[in-house]
Every structure is written in structure tokens, then in C-alpha cells.
Amino acid sequence: MTHRALNIVPFVSVHNMMRLVNAVGIERFLTELADFVEADFRRWPEFDKTPRVASHSVDGVIELMPTSDGTTYGFKYVNGHPKNMREGRQTVTAFGLLAEVGNGYPQLLCEMTILTALRTAATSAVAARHLARPGSRTMAIIGNGAQSEFQAVAFKALLGIDRLRLFDIDRWASEKCAANLARYGFHIEICGGVAEAVEGADIVTTVTADKQNATILTDNLVGAGQHINAVGGDCPGKTELHADILRRSDIFVEYPPQTRIEGEVQQLAPDHPVTELWRVIAGEVPGRRSVDEITLFDSVGFATEDFSALRYVHTKLTLGDFHEEIDLLADPDEPRDLFGMLHRAAAREGAQL
């Protein structure tokens, strides 16, 4: 790269993200992305870690999620506004950036609305690969909104899930989910309630969006040996599970200082035992210890997962024309002469400064 190109940053738009995912194939994309997520969990001690910086309002939340491994820095901007759906908008939108730590220059600017859905599903499946019973084939998905199909395909790609039991309070959402997944070889049943969906499921995924203390899953519905993938509770005051489920489950989390504020475990005492997922992946502690154990992945999403996703996409830019170049940074001929750069630009445009 020449000096004159230092101002150019690759940008992956929504259009190009969709082209990239379709070119790779969504199951392969999720599988490869999961490998990046798992690899970064294995080197967890290398990362700067902090709970996401959140700005809460009555309507939702806007968050920044930063991290660095000492060589590369990454962050994601993301919102969560449950009411948006009623206005024809996405509940969650996001974009992210990678930068070189050594000089601070961005390496990638990327849409992350689609990519967040992919990395959330990939992370859930990575956790289940270590925590669910071997041979699990049936998954219940409670809440059939924008994330549900990604979860289903990720669990199929990584664990071989081939039977889905769907429930949403809006039956249209379940029908939408079933229609979108029809081509992927699942046996799909749309259920009339949570109890019907959960009965006989090896894995239960809850992915609802209401910003309130909700009880989507009650203790009497959870049986021995099930793995619970709790995705929807991801900010203070937002939960999906009855606290009694937590008390009889072995709980696995990403980053305790964040999860204790935002996750299902916010319902429990601050010292309630939890296990960090990275320690299981790194082989430091066991995951599932028996076929009857109830395991719970209290997923709130953490910055390293976004870092992994951005890192993965960055490696894919060599495959073809899946990005555009944007003039993001000022790059004067003489770094100390930024004002002179304005003058020269004015002269080229025949304007006065």
C-alpha cells in the first residue's frame, strides 16, 4: 500500500455482506465463523475486557463493545429497541470496525446487523457443542423473530440438529421461520405453547425481545439433561427464565462482570457460582458432566465475539469483490499540514476557504 492509499479503508456494506454470505454458503460461513469464535475464546487471557458501554433509555439501549488482543483493536456499535418492530424497523442494528493497534489506522469498516445475527448463532452453537448432550437432535426455539433462523442453521451445521419445535406468541413469526428454513432439511413443528415446544427437546433456545422481567420458561418445563441456550436476556431488567431454573442448572457465561448485570443471572445473588465458557473451551474445566445435568448458557454477547466475526470477514475479502473502498481518513502529503490540505483542495475545486 502506498502512502497515498493510507486514507482508503475497505467497507463491507449490507449488500456486500449478503453477497459474501451467499457466496460462501450460510452453513459453511457459520461453521468457519464458529471456528474463529472458538479460537479467540481459547486465547481469552490475551484480550482487553470490559463490560459494554451502554446508554439506556425508556425505548431501548445503544451500546459500544470494544476489545483488543494487543495487535488489533475492534469495536461494535449496536442498538436494541424492542419497539422498533412496531414501526417497521429492526430491533437490533449494528456496525463495527477493526484497527491496527500499532498505528491506530482502521483496517475494516463493516455492517454488523447481519453479522451480529451470524456471530450470535455461531457462539450459541459453539457453547452447545461443549455443553449439550452428545447426539442431541431436537431443539425448541421460543421466540421466532429475526435471530431464530440463524440459530437453527448454526445448530444444524455444528451439532447436527434436524428437528425443530417452534413457538412464538405471534404465529405468523413461527410460520415465517418455518418457511425460511424449509430448504434446510429440518423436520419442523409449529407448537401451540411453550410447554408443547419444550417437551422432549434436547436443547431449548429462548430468543425473545421484550425489555422487561419476563418469564418465558418456567421451572416445571425444564427436564433432566436439557441444555438451555438463553439468548434474549441481554440487558438490565430483561430476562426470560424463572430464577428456579437457574438454581438447579450449571450456568456458563461469557464475561461475568457483564453477564451479572445483563444476563439471566442478574436475578441471583452476586456471588452465585458461574463458569466462564472460555475455561471450558480451553480445557481448564469440564463442561457437561453427566447426561442428567441441566446446562445453561446465559448468552448476552461479548466484544470478543464481534472481534472474531470482524476478523473472519476481513480474511474473506480476498475471495472477490465483496467490499468497496472509502476515503475515511485525512492523509495530507505532510502529516503536520492538515490546514494546507484544505487549501489545496479548495484550489482544485476553484473555491475559497
Kindly compute the dihedral angle of the four CA atoms of residues 299, 177, 162, 37, in this order, to the nearest 10 degrees: -30
Residue in 40, 168, 202, 234 annotated catalytic: 234
C-alpha distances (whole Å) from 61 to each of 64, 236, 302 are 10, 10, 15
Q: Which positions ≥6 away from 33 have C-beta within 8 Å?
A: 118, 119, 122, 308, 309, 312
Cα–Cα distance for residue pair 28/324, rounded to 1 Å: 24
Amino acid 92 reads V
Burial (Cβ within 10 Å: 0-12, 13-18, ≥19) of residue 139: buried
Mark whether 234 is an active-site residue: yes
Look up residue 282 and give its three cell numbers: 480451553
The radius of gyration computed from the CA coordinates of the chain, to the nearest angstrom, equals 22
Please, which contacts does 283-287 make with residues 24 or more away whose CB atoms are closer than 8 Å?
A: 287/130, 287/131, 287/252
**Count, residues in the chain:** 353
Place of cell 423436520: 187
Place of cell 482508503: 8
- List, by residue number, the catalytic residues: 234
